[in-house]
Amino acid sequence: MNGAEYLVSFLEKKGVEYIFGYPGGSVIFLYDVLGRSGLKHILTRHEQGAVHAADGYARVTGKPGVCFATSGPGATNLVTGIANAYLDSVPLIAVTGQVNLDSIGRDAFQEADIIGITMPITKHSYMVKKMDELPSVLEEAWNVATTGRPGPVLIDMPKDIFAGTVDSQVGLEKKYSRKVPLKNGLSEQLDKVVAALHEAKRPLVMVGGGVVSGQASEIIREFVNYTKMPVVTTLMGKGAFPDTAENCLGMVGMHGMPAANLTLNSSDVLIALGVRFSDRITGKPENFLPETTIIHVDIDPAELSKNVVADIPVVCDVAKFLTEMLSRLKKKGLEFATKEWLQEVTIFKEKYPLLYEKEGGLKPQTVIEEVARQVGDKVVVVTDVGQHQMFVAQFYPIGKTRNFVTSGGLGTMGFGLPAAIGAAFGKTNEAVALFTGDGSIQMNIQELATIANHQLPLKVFILNNSCLGMVRQWQELFFKGHYASTLFDSNPDFVRLANAYGIKALRAGETDDISEIVAEAFRLPGPVIVDCAVCQGENVLPIIPPGGKLNEMLGRWKGEAHISRIS
Beta carbons of 311 and 295 less than 8 angstroms apart: yes
Q: What is the DSSP string of 203-215?
A: EEEEE-HHHHHTT
Annotated catalytic residues are 47, 109-110, 159, 470
Residue 171 clears pLDDT 70, i.e. is over it: no
Q: What is the pLDDT of residues 45-59, one digit of tens each?
A: 999 999 999 999 999
| Selection from 467, 441, 459 nearest residue 520 by Cα | 459
Q: In this predicted structure, what is the pLDDT of residue 98?
A: 97
Q: Is the pLDDT of residue 70 over 60?
A: yes
| Residue 110 or 169, more confident | 110
User: Under CATH, which number does the domain 364-540 receive?
Assistant: 3.40.50.970
pLDDT (0 to 100) of residue 481? 95
> Quick one: pLDDT at residue 180?
53
What's the pLDDT at 183? Answer: 56
Instruction: Summarize the confidence of residues 319-323 as an average pLDDT.
Output: 96
Cα 273 to Cα 208: distance, rounded to the nearest angstrom? 6
* pLDDT per position as a tens digit, 126-168: 999 999 899 999 999 999 999 999 999 999 999 999 998 877 6
Confidence class for position 232, pLDDT limits 50, 70, 90? very high
Q: How confident is the model at residue 188 (pLDDT cuts 50, 70, 90)?
A: confident
Classified as helix, coil or strand, 233 is: strand
State the pLDDT at residue 237: 97
- Predicted local distance difference test score (pLDDT) of residue 337: 78
Instruction: Report which of 407, 412, 454, 403 is spatially closest to residue 432, judged by C-alpha positions.
Output: 403
Rounded to whole angstroms, how far apart are CA atoms 152 and 142?
A: 10
**pLDDT at residue 551 greater than cutoff 60:** yes
Supply the pLDDT for residue 166: 74
Nearest to 269 by CA among 205, 176, 357, 348: 205
Start-end ranges of CATH 3.40.50.970 in the chain? 3-173, 364-540
Cα 302 to chain center, whole Å?
20
**What's the confidence (pLDDT) of residue 139?**
95
pLDDT on residue 362: 97
pTM over 0.75: yes
* Residue extent(s) of CATH 3.40.50.1220 domains in the chain: 186-351
When the pLDDT of each residue in the chain is averaged and rounded to a whole number, the result is 94
Q: What are phi and psi of 549, to 5 degrees?
A: -100, 170
pLDDT band at residue 184, thresholds of 50, 70 and 90?
low
3-173: what fold? Rossmann fold (3.40.50)
Question: Tell me, what's the pLDDT at 187?
Answer: 81
Residue 336 pLDDT greater than 80, yes or no: no
- pLDDT attached to residue 335: 74
Per-residue model confidence (pLDDT) at position 178 = 56
CATH code reported for the domain at 186-351: 3.40.50.1220
Is residue 172's pLDDT more than 80? no
Strand order in the sheet with 458-464: 404-405, 379-383, 431-437, 458-464, 528-533, 504-508
Exposed, middle or buried: residue 325 (CB in 10 Å: 0-12, 13-18, 19+)? buried
Residue 491 pLDDT greater than 80, yes or no: yes
Return the amino acid letter for 320.
K
pLDDT over 90 (residue 343): yes
Q: With the C-alpha atoms ordered 545, 549, 552, 555, is the resulting torsion angle positive or negative?
A: positive
